[in-house]
Amino acid sequence: MYLNFDKALVLFILAGLYPFLFDKQVSVSNETLGISPRSKLILILLFGSIFPLAMKLELIELEMGLPSWWWLFALNNLLITCTVEEAFFRGALQGQVLNRFGAVSALLISSVLFGAAHFAGGLEYVLVATIAGLGYGYVYASTGRLSLAVLSHFAVNFIHLAFFTYPKLAPIDSLVAICKCRSSLCDYSNRQCRRCSHNDAPLASLTCFCTPISQPSKTKHRKHILIIIQ
């Protein structure tokens, strides 16, 4: 986690280009998906599938509890991250495509591009982000209110922080284990410690150092990592 001041700059630019961005939007064709029992069911299915799918893809796992920096996360995520991303992908992009190609095309295009913007997390992350984008986009298409899309985005992110590993399980290549000699120079290509030449270190001597790169996080290692390196 870091303070996204670069995204804040994007928000100012978007506000200058689209001064009525946060007003209730109606397309030139007055086309909206509308709020109906069918729409509510679709939203339940979309948002209800996000975390089960992420767990199935081994991106996250249950870990209940808020870190000490949750308040900073909440402020940064709501006021900057969610607001800017929704202003761009829903308010600007989806809104413009809506007026040209219709509500369904606008929803699909903006959601796919939203997912693609998360490519750094891998293809599985792109898939989950695309489904989440469909949910945020459907909220916007159904209500015409960008603020509701922002709040739904923030709700998903905060639930992620409160009930699951955040941002996701650490990739295997980010893990470090040590031999019983306490050296951090273990070479897993041949299961041999390059310092003491100890072969096939017993599992009890292996320690995971899943430390975050920057800010403290709830990131955890994959539970089956020791099976891979034993």
| pLDDT, tens only, 52-96 | 999 999 899 898 999 888 999 999 999 889 999 999 999 889 988
How does residue 220 score in pLDDT terms, banded at 50, 70 and 90? Answer: low
The verdict on 183 and 157 lying in the same domain is no
How does residue 16 score in pLDDT terms, banded at 50, 70 and 90? Answer: low
Residues 6+ apart with CB under 8 A from 139: 43, 148, 149, 152
Helices (H), 123-210: 123-143, 146-163
Share of the chain above pLDDT 90, in %: 42
Residue that finishes a domain, picked among 134, 163, 192: 163
Residue that finishes a domain, picked among 128, 163, 198: 163
Mean pLDDT of 154-162: 96
At residue 62, the 3 state secondary structure works out as strand
How does residue 203 score in pLDDT terms, banded at 50, 70 and 90? Answer: very low
Residues 6+ apart with CB under 8 A from 93: 109, 110, 113
The verdict on 204 and 141 lying in the same domain is no
Residue that finishes a domain, picked among 136, 163, 190: 163
Q: What is the pTM of this model?
A: 0.71
Structural domain count of the chain: 2
The verdict on 80 and 13 lying in the same domain is yes
Containing structural domain, residue 155? 5-163
The verdict on 225 and 124 lying in the same domain is no
The verdict on 84 and 197 lying in the same domain is no
The verdict on 62 and 157 lying in the same domain is yes
